[in-house]
Amino acid sequence: MLAAEDRAILDFEQGWWTQPGPKDQAIEFSLGLTSARYYDRLRELIADPAAMSYDPLTVRRVRTMIETVVP
């Protein structure tokens, strides 16, 4: 089972573009995290089976983006 903060990170990643302003500002405003901490935690989450169960579309999308950027 995912912690509330982990669910919030996945929920944010699912629809961050609906937030006003740049993504890094929206991360800090919405989640209270630095961008670095957010991305570190997001990378950890996409390897977590509980995250896949919670939001498979977002996890797959982030995995695909990372695989495309980091060969």
Q: Tell me what pLDDT residue 36 has.
A: 96
The phi-psi region of residue 32 (left if phi > 0; otherwise alpha if psi is between -120 and 50; otherwise beta) is left
Distance CA 54, CA 19 (A): 22
Residue in 47, 13, 55, 48 with CA at minimum distance from that of residue 30 = 13
> What pLDDT, on the 0 to 100 scale, is given for residue 69?
80
Q: What is the pLDDT of residue 70?
A: 65
CB distance 31 to 8 below 8 Å: yes
User: What is the domain range of residue 65?
Assistant: 4-69
What's the total number of domains in the chain?
Answer: 1
Q: Which pLDDT tens digit goes with each residue over 10-42? A: 999 999 888 888 999 999 999 999 999 999 999
